[in-house]
Amino acid sequence: MTHGKTISNTGRSTFTMPDGRMLHLYGAYSGTPAWPLGAELHERDFSHRRWHPVRREWVVYSAHRQTRTYKPASNTCPLCPEASDGEVPVKDFSIAVFDNRFSSFQKTCPKPDPIPGLDLSVDSAAGNCEVVVYSADHKASMSTLSQDRRELLVKVWGDRVRALMRMPAVQAVMPFENRGEEAGVTLHHPHGQIYAFSYLPPVIETMAQSFREGYELSKLTSSAMHEIAQAESMAALVPPFARFPYEVWIVPKRFRPSPGDLGENEVKDCARLLALVAKKYDIFFKRACPYVMIVYVAPRGMEEYFPFHIQFYPLLRTPQKLKFLAGCELGAGSFLADLVPEEAARSLRDLRLEDIP
Ligand SMILES: [Zn+2]
């Protein structure tokens, strides 16, 4: 069954895919989604999670992900419009969001059976994984999207967070983008993802504790030594305690729990700074810089003190050298950095861009 519904204030049209997944088209699009025969037969499988009693954290098992699409040629990209067996079967679109076919978390997820002979906590991997396609253009990137499109992306994050938080099981929602093969990207079409967790992942839990106990993120926005760029309502900065050599955060000057709570001017500033950071990385490293970008949003019940902000972890130390997580980082959880954040901030700040919109 395919049905479309346009919601005028967000410009969102929602469709049910033949295999039961949802597709949301934000902004303008052309054509009516038409999936090929057989698309209803996509196999779905359930994940589960197990408690790691030594590290005290959940590990999610989704064996079906091993068969997911791996680096297809550009003429078979499933995120391009009208691709055969593609995920967004319209002529053109602005931003498309759909349930990941190879999802680690599922909206309806049965409780798994205990593992025989083992005293191990197991639970369902309830939640959801969505894919956010930034553009119909296979070659676009965060730095080349138009300002309008990036503003729409910030609004899409807000709208998806709101929608996913309506699922009773969901405790935390995290939009993110992995860019480049070094970040494990299997599809090069510009896209990010959104994970909705039915538990608090350990990093978000630790952050929540800091914010609950009164750490104020916005005070970072007034340090001239660490700023990369200032907008009226937000700053891009290297945090004085950065773990990655050229880590950059985008931080609102006023507390906001979610991108959905930003005013029009804040959305504009956020979109401008996203482009500025992505462009500076590409110019500074003289190549398409691989990075992981995380959009942190207040988890359920923490809307009073957990601030929305964005963290970029570029995976390069120099144009040729990757920043690897190895013995000390993985084994001890202690990051070793080769340069101090003030120096990284100065290098990125001094880099001049001619064409930031
Ligand atoms: Zn593509």
Residue 323: pLDDT band (50, 70, 90) is confident
**Dihedral of the CA atoms 37, 39, 41, 42 (nearest 10)?**
160
Q: Give the pLDDT confidence score for residue 67 in this predicted structure.
A: 55
Q: Tell me whether residue 64 is one of the annotated catalytic residues.
A: no
DSSP code for 111: P
CA 74 – ligand 1 centroid, Å = 6
Q: Give the pLDDT confidence score for residue 38 in this predicted structure.
A: 73
Question: Residue 355 falls within a domain, yes or no?
Answer: no
Catalytic option among 188, 189, 191, 309? 191
CATH number at residue 307: 3.30.428.10
Cα-based distances in Å from 93 to 12, 72, 149, 334: 12, 21, 11, 43
Residue 3: pLDDT band (50, 70, 90) is very low
What's phi and psi for 172, nearest 5 deg?
A: -150, 145
> Is the CB of residue 255 less than 8 Å from the CB of residue 219?
no
CA 5 – ligand 1 centroid, Å = 25
In the numeric block, which tokens belong to residue 95?
């931003």
Q: Is 185 exposed, middle or buried (0-12, 13-18, 19+ CB in 10 A)?
A: middle
CA 249 – ligand 1 centroid, Å = 28
CA 150 – ligand 1 centroid, Å = 18
Ion ligand 1 — residues with CB under 5 Å?
A: 77, 79-80, 138, 189
Question: Residue 357 falls within a domain, yes or no?
Answer: no
Residue-by-residue DSSP string for 200-251: --HHHHHHHHHHHTT--GGGGGG-TTTEEEE-SSEEEE--TT-SSTT-EEEE
Question: Residue 244 falls within a domain, yes or no?
Answer: yes
CA 186 – ligand 1 centroid, Å = 12
188 SS3 class:
coil
Alpha-carbon distance of 131 to 320, in angstroms, equals 30
Q: Where are the alpha helices (DSSP H) in 36-175?
A: 147-165
CA 77 – ligand 1 centroid, Å = 4
Alpha-carbon distance of 28 to 93, in angstroms, equals 6
CA 31 – ligand 1 centroid, Å = 18
In the numeric block, which tokens belong to residue 150?
């990036």
Residue 164: pLDDT band (50, 70, 90) is very high
238-297 confidence digits (pLDDT tens) = 999 999 999 999 999 999 999 999 999 999 999 999 999 999 999 999 999 999 999 999
Predicted TM-score (pTM) above 0.95: no
Question: Residue 41 falls within a domain, yes or no?
Answer: yes
Cα-based distances in Å from 250 to 172, 221, 223: 20, 9, 13
In the numeric block, which tokens belong to residue 81?
């419009």
Question: Residue 356 falls within a domain, yes or no?
Answer: no
Domain count, the chain: 1
Alpha-carbon distance of 323 to 326, in angstroms, equals 9
The residue type found at 308 is: F
Angle at CA of residue 26, ends 23 and 27, nearest 5°: 145
Question: Residue 154 falls within a domain, yes or no?
Answer: yes
Question: Residue 239 falls within a domain, yes or no?
Answer: yes
| Bridge partners (DSSP) listed for residue 60 | 49
Question: In the chain, pLDDT over 70 holds for what percent of residues?
Answer: 92
Question: Residue 167 falls within a domain, yes or no?
Answer: yes
Q: Give the pLDDT confidence score for residue 64 in this predicted structure.
A: 62
| Bridge partners (DSSP) listed for residue 39 | none
CA 257 – ligand 1 centroid, Å = 33
Give the residue-averaged pLDDT of 321-333: 89
In the numeric block, which tokens belong to residue 235?
């700053």
Alpha-carbon distance of 150 to 190, in angstroms, equals 12
Alpha-carbon distance of 262 to 252, in angstroms, equals 9
Parent domain of 332: 5-350
CA 298 – ligand 1 centroid, Å = 32
